[in-house]
Every structure is written in structure tokens, then in C-alpha cells.
Chain A
């Protein structure tokens, strides 16, 4: 057996002996620096795997002698960001809500910071666009159960609603008029028709008229004589077009028979005061915010 070395006539270079459709590959040597670049990469890789986390092992990977980790780097960057924002955050913590809102830079910062905190803490119930859903208030509109001034929103955020861990929480109970037998089904039908009529929607006029008296005796204490609600108790305004648990006679009746009452946690344990202020300002800026109490 013999190994034949072929040489290309034109270039004088040996071929690899491989041939594709009659085209033979020249065995041209690679440039030497190419090889050195490869060695350089190998050395770099060895150094890298010593310095940085690299080799997977059972139960983890080698840590690298620099002690670098992506979590550590993240924590560092967050610290740096917090340090850079410290002055602004301290001012927000020290100032009153109306004063913050008068300073365009602080207002912009609070809105952006509040939006970020909202995305982490609030969207689970209120939705990414704060539009809420059935049982979860829409924060964009101008209908507020417990008040829409920055201070009222701030208080709601701090203490929550029917939040058992905070004695100062916003609290109220609506009796279960149906299952506790306070009102008969007929009376419930009548008062529901009255509530429907309050907001100008089509209702059975006879029942609504009969329900007027029942409303005055059972409901007006919290919802007011005129049905416009009372923010002391978080009692909804029944005369507007917005229904937290759905409009229409059936939804209203269900709410009288066995009311659903929303719960919201207070945030003081989880968020610092500046963040809660930012959240209040952000929610207030969503379009339905009411004028600050102290101007």
C-alpha cells in the first residue's frame, strides 16, 4: 500500500486527497498567528474558569476565586441605584403629598417609582392597567369607596381594607340581608329595583316605589338617604353608573342577599413610606384623583 501525495500543478501545494465533483482541496497551511490566537483563547478560557463560576458539579458549580455572581452583581447595581436615588427618596419621605405633587421633578419621579411598585405589588388584583375587574376596583375612574384624595389613597395603602393584621384598617360590614333573614326575597327584589332606579336605569316602577321605604330603613344608614354612599364606611355610591360587583338586577340582588366585601392588605410591613407615597401619587395620577385635602 502506498500513500500518494498529489500536488496541484498551478500552486504547487499538496492536496488533501479529498475531491468533490472533481474539485480537489488544497492542503494550504493556516497562518501561524491563527494558531497563536487559538492558544490565546485556550489560556483565556483556563484563566476565566479559575476566576469565574464555570464548571458544573453535582450540587452546584465551581464558584471562581473572584467570588463573582450575577446575583451579587445585581445586588450591587441595585445598591448603586438606591444610593443615586437616596436624596430624592429622602425628600419624598419627608414631604407631604401635596408638596411632592407641586414639584414637577418629584412628581415625575413619584409617578415612575409608583408605577414600578404597582407592577410588582398591585397588578395581581387591580390589573396591569389598574382597571381592576369584578370585585377589584378600577383605579382609573372617579368613583372611590374610601376616598380619592392623595391622603385618602395613602391611608388605604398604609392600613388596607378589612385587613386583620392592622387595627387601624378601613373596616365595615354589610349585613347579609338575605341569608340572615333580615329581608324577605320579595323585599329584596323591591329594594334592588329601587337601587337600580337610583342610578337612572330601567327598573320596575312599582317595586322600586315599594323598595324606597325598605331602603330608608335598612340601607340609608350607610349608603345615605339619597344612596350616594358614605366614604366613612366605604359604602359605595349607588347612584352612579359604576358597579363594583356588576350592574343589573341579578347582581344587585346577589349583593343584598350575601354581600361580597373586598379585602386589601396594608403595605407598611412590606413597603417603606416613600414607596407607599409614590404609589399613592401614581394611583392618584391615573385620572380619577381628587383634589388634595390640604391645599
Chain B
């Protein structure tokens, strides 16, 4: 499929030089400037849906950090808070410790599998409606159109020489963009600290420098990505459009130009019909091209730039209404249905296309992770215990021949109230314990107070001179941690932790 355009077939009588310009323009431009895309404002159900998504998603983003949620004790009263300094994550009634990071991992798995599911069902719905790049670009283009006008006015303004009017329009537009960008970065930091306090600190210049730095970076990226980079972020920078190729199949709904209905296209439909030419429904009005934020022609088929925002469907439907043809020349359909229609079968999409092995597997995996997380969340305890044995030395021989092992016992009190726990040693004959910092007290149990929402680590020494234990290289026993006098009606929590007692290595 290669056409040779410059050959040696010159007539011999002219004596053609075999010269090729070294600096031929075609060979010179190694870099291409971006051609600005000025999408025309679309009107229709998908545009309305996109506006709704913009409002909902931006609403969540800007409102969420300001929601309050009263918690007992010293715990913060912000509903959603990622408290890096104290290593806690708060989400309404849920409080996550770093030890429970698997919840975050689970959420990320759900987000990943959820994306697979949505993509195999509805194509790049994420790209078209929910991606921050799409949402903020929509917002920026809306601002642009309010100040500079719609597509044609913007193209004219672009081409016009610099003037006071052009300068002021551009300046106002960028100022508003900048304010939106600052608000974007500005609200991000509120998820990481008490929002009202941080807001006050930010405007009085008292906030930590990392807050200003974060705002500056997010302001710069928002301003550049939504204002200038736009579709290039999706086409060149984002990996998801590449991955989605593997997620789509012939049953996925994708924005499709139904060429079997539209072709051959004629701009003068009536004239063509009068001449007896075969004519499709496409009137070649280019409305679908004008509204496309990615600057593509959907009639070329499914392509990697297409974010499936369906604005071309809105544009085409409006034209079909005008010329009295049925809607849906461009619509959401599947590659399978498209092929069937091309083959002359009249097939339509129905909901059964949603249910197929692939989507069932994705949904099962997604729901399984979600249910497992819900289950562990409901059954999780407010007391956790970790016992770390001393590894160096494994054991110590005492002057009377007894063997001693050391353990660091970590008690995690996840409740927002101070509690006392009784630590005792079980199943180790002759065992005596001593706690570092316990003023030398010895015994088989200690009462350990733990502050609200805190971890307490205590160093425990356990020794025994029981010949049966000392004779063994290692014996198993248990630490038991029981809550004393719980407040209210809550049943006392307790944990048993199996541990190993090391003795001297015995030669066989």
C-alpha cells in the first residue's frame, strides 16, 4: 500500500536531473505544532448528562472535605481526612490504621476491576464522563466559550491579529482559568488536614510550606492540562487509552458511526436523490467533527483518540431531527451489531448484551472484593496484638541456669477511649514475667493501660527453669490480652497470641 511519488521515469529527451532538494519542507519538519481544537458547544441528552457529571463530581470534590463528623475524644471531627502526621485515615464512621492498609488496597482493586467492568460494558465511559481531565477540560472550555464565544468566534479570534479586545478576552479567560486551578489545588490539601483550620492558615500565610507547594503544583498542572494540553493528555500521556484496547470486545458499547446507514454520504441529499444516486443518511454536515473535543472524525471508525463522550451523537441526532430521518446514525452500539448490520441483518442492541461471561467474571471479582472488605470491616476488632520476639539473642541463660526470652508486646487500642488490658502468660510451665519500666515487679500477669486510639509497646521478659522447657529447643505458649472493666455495654475484648519460647540448641 505504498505509492512511489518521486521516480526516475522522466522522458529521456529532456534529460532530467536526478536532484532532490536537501531541505525539502516535507523532510524538514521533525516536530509538529499542535493545531488548536475549538469544539462547538453540543446540545442534547449526552451533553446534559456530561454537565450533570461535571456538577456532581466537582460538587463531591469541593464539598467533601468540609463535611463534619463528630468523633469522641481527641479524634478529628472531619468526615473525610487523611491524617498523615498521625497515620490515620478517617471516612465517616470508619477509622483506618496503617496496619489496615489492605482496605485501601481493596478499594484500589475495586477501582481497577470496576474500570475493567465499565469498559467492557460501555467502552471508555470513564474517559468520556468521569475522568478529571475530561471534567476540568469541560469546565475550562465552558469558561472559554462564555468569554470568547462558540467555535467559529474562537477560530476567528485565534486567527485575528493581537488587539486590545483580543488581549483582554484572553487575559480574562486565563485569569478565570487560574482561579479555578488555584481552587482545584487549594481544595486538594483540605483532605489532609482540618479544612477550616487549614483554610484560615492558608489565607493568613501560616500554613505549612508543603501545603502551598502542593497547591502550586496542582494549580500549574490543572491550568496547563485543562487549558492547553487538553486532548494531548489523553492521546500522548495517558496509558488508559492503550490498556482499554484489551478491555473492549465486540459486545462493548462504543460510540459508532453506522456507515452501513450513512454511506454513501452526500452534502446535497435531495440533489443526489434527484440524480438517482444511491444516498445514505449522512449529509456530510460535519456537525460531528465540529463538536468533537478530540478533533477527530467519528466517521473514520473507532480510534484511539476517541474518549466516547458521545457529543457527536448529540450533534448528529439534532441534524437527523432537522432532515426528518431517524436518530442514531451515530450511536452507542457494539462492534458485533455493527458487523451484523453491515452484513444486512437488522439487529438492535438490548440489555442482554450486558450479561456475558466476561462481565459476569468482572462483576463477581468486583463484588467479591467489596463483600470481603465489608465483612472484615463489620467484624474487625478494636483491639489488635502483635508480639515480636527478640531475635538477638534468641535466649539468655541466667546465673541459676534458667532460660529467659524477650518479647515486645504491641497492644493496639483502636477505640477512642483509654482502656486497660491484662497481659498474662499461659501454657509455659514455671514461667515468670518482668516488664521493662515496671519497677522490677515480677509475676505471671501485668495490667497495662493504653491511651485512646494508640498503640502501646511493652518489653516483656519471660523466664523459666522448668527442666522440660529448658530441655527443648523451642516450646510453644501463649500470651493472653484481656480488656479490664470495659465502659458501657461493650463486651470486653480479648486476644490470644501464640508465641515461641527458645531454649539452647541441643545436639542430637
Question: Which residues of A line the B interface, CB within 8 A?
Answer: 1-10, 14-15, 24, 29-35, 101, 104, 107-108, 111, 127-131, 138, 140-143, 237, 240-242, 285, 287-288, 291
- Min CB distance A211 to B, Å, is 22
**B396:A287 contact, CB within 8 angstroms:** yes
**A29:B5 contact, CB within 8 angstroms:** no
- One of A7, A10, A241 near B399 (C-beta < 8 A): A241
Question: How distant is the Cα of A287 from the Cα of B403 in the complex, in angstroms?
Answer: 12
Q: Encode contact with A along B395-416: 1 for CB under 8 Å, 0 otherwise.
A: 0111111001010000000000
Instruction: Let me know if B350 is at the binding interface, CB within 8 A.
Output: no
**A285:B459 contact, CB within 8 angstroms:** yes
**A131:B392 contact, CB within 8 angstroms:** yes
- Min CB distance B291 to A, Å, is 23
**B393:A131 contact, CB within 8 angstroms:** yes
Question: How distant is the Cα of A130 from the Cα of B396 in the complex, in angstroms?
Answer: 10
- One of B2, B4, B400 near A24 (C-beta < 8 A): B2
- Known A3-B20, A29-B31: A129·B393 in contact at CB below 8 Å: yes
Taking CB atoms and an 8 Å cut-off, the chain B residues in 351-408 that contact chain A are: 390-393, 396-401, 404, 406
**B396:A4 contact, CB within 8 angstroms:** no
- Min CB distance A225 to B, Å, is 19
Q: Which residues of B contact A31 (CB under 8 A)?
A: 31-34, 232, 236
Q: Which residues of A contact B396 (CB under 8 A)?
A: 131, 138, 140-141, 287-288
**B399:A9 contact, CB within 8 angstroms:** no
Q: In terms of DSSP, what is the predominant structure of the interface of chain B?
A: loop
- Min CB distance A233 to B, Å, is 18
Question: How distant is the Cα of A15 from the Cα of B1 in the complex, in angstroms?
Answer: 12
- One of A9, A29, A129, A285 near B436 (C-beta < 8 A): A285
Q: Which residues of A contact B1 (CB under 8 A)?
A: 8-10
**B18:A7 contact, CB within 8 angstroms:** no
Instruction: Let me know if B7 is at the binding interface, CB within 8 A.
Output: yes
- Known A1-B18, A30-B30, A131-B392: A6·B397 in contact at CB below 8 Å: no
Beyond A24-B2, A30-B32, list 12 extra A-B contacts (CB 8 Å): A2-B20, A3-B20, A5-B5, A6-B5, A9-B1, A9-B2, A131-B396, A141-B404, A237-B399, A241-B400, A242-B397, A285-B437
**A142:B398 contact, CB within 8 angstroms:** yes
Taking CB atoms and an 8 Å cut-off, the chain B residues in 1-33 that contact chain A are: 1-8, 18, 20, 26-27, 29-33
* CB-CB nearest 5 A-B residue pairs: A129-B392, A240-B399, A29-B32, A131-B393, A140-B396
**A128:B392 contact, CB within 8 angstroms:** yes
Question: How distant is the Cα of A262 from the Cα of B236 in the complex, in angstroms?
Answer: 71
Name the CB-closest residue of B to A35: B31
**B400:A7 contact, CB within 8 angstroms:** no
**B393:A140 contact, CB within 8 angstroms:** yes
Instruction: Let me know if B208 is at the binding interface, CB within 8 A.
Output: no
Question: How distant is the Cα of A143 from the Cα of B29 in the complex, in angstroms?
Answer: 84
- Min CB distance B444 to A, Å, is 17
Q: Which residues of B contact A9 (CB under 8 A)?
A: 1-3
- Min CB distance B390 to A, Å, is 7
